[in-house]
Amino acid sequence: QAQLVQSGAEVKKPGASVKVSCKASGYTFTHYYMHWVRQAPGQGLEWMGTIDPSDGNTRYAQKLQGRVTMTRDTSTSTIYMEVSSLRSEDTAMYYCATRGGSSYSYAMDVWGQGTTVTVSS
Amino acid sequence: QSALTQPPSASGSPGQSVTISCTGTSSDVGGYNYVSWYQHHPGKAPKLMIYEVSKRPSGVPDRFSGSKSGNTASLTVSGLQAEDEADYYCNSYAGSNVWVFGGGTKMTVL
């Protein structure tokens, strides 16, 4: 059973950086792209970017280019998402998601439990 | 990378059918048969309801169906039930390893 487990809630000051982790289990980690999706309070879901765990290649949403970095550690089947120069607008629930071994092409079938990031002075 | 356009709200009585639209461009919805739909209850992780425009994952009731015409995809919920009350988001692959979500539709069961 594919599962994604994320790190705990974070509180950061404006201008700081935050790094959230997402550990995968129950499927072959390197076989499926993984995504980061966020939802700010009262807003919709926003695709932030994707990482190919097999080679670390990434693609980020244009809006976040230059402030977001996604990496992976194949030895622990974990991906990381770091956002720098945090602003109040980055306050959100952050999710990792993947197809996770399913045949549901280009969809996100398995989701982490979410990590709350609060940016406040 | 503009968000796909969804109506902010939709509603129906139990047993009725409701359809939610999702409009994009020829670069996303119209260009690929990789539209998916997600159901999102507050405080929980989103749930995949439809993938590849019209396919249902295992365990999703056949009351949920999807379709696409040109640059607009649609999700239809038939035989509306109280537990269908949630936010629904469309998502489309947009090429070059880019995905885009719709703005979301709040479904209310009257």
pLDDT tens sequence across A27-67: 999 999 999 999 999 999 999 999 999 999 999 999 999 99
Confidence of residue B15 (pLDDT cuts 50, 70, 90): very high
Residue B63, C-beta contacts closer than 8 angstroms, at least 6 positions apart: B77, B78, B79, B80, B81, B84
Nearest beta carbon to residue B97 from set A50, A95, A104 = A50
pLDDT tens sequence across B36-71: 999 999 889 999 999 999 999 999 999 999 999 999
Q: Which residue of A has its CA nearest to B97?
A: A59
With beta carbons less than 8 A apart as the criterion, state whether B28 and B39 touch.
no
Q: Residue B89 is encoded by which pair of tokens?
A: 């988001």
User: CA nearest B88: which of A45, A68, A116, A83?
Assistant: A45
Confidence of residue B1 (pLDDT cuts 50, 70, 90): confident
Q: Show which of residues 12-51 on chain B sit within 8 Å of chain A, judged by CB atoms.
A: 32, 34, 36, 38, 40, 45-48, 51
CB-CB under 8 Å, B45 with A112: yes
Identify any residues that bridge with A45 across adjacent strands, giving them in sequence order. Answer: A39
Query: How far is it, in rounded angstroms, from Cα B61 to Cα B50?
Result: 10
Q: What is the DSSP letter of A104?
A: -
Q: Residue A56 is encoded by which pair of tokens?
A: 């670390």
pLDDT tens sequence across A91-102: 999 999 999 878
E strand spans, chain A: 3-6, 10-12, 18-25, 34-39, 45-51, 58-60, 68-73, 78-83, 92-98, 110-111, 115-119
For an interface test with A, the pick among B89, B99, B101 (most A C-beta atoms closer than 10 Å) comes out as B99
Q: Residue A55 is encoded by which pair of tokens?
A: 């080679």
CA dihedral A51, A52, A55, A57 (to 10 degrees): -40
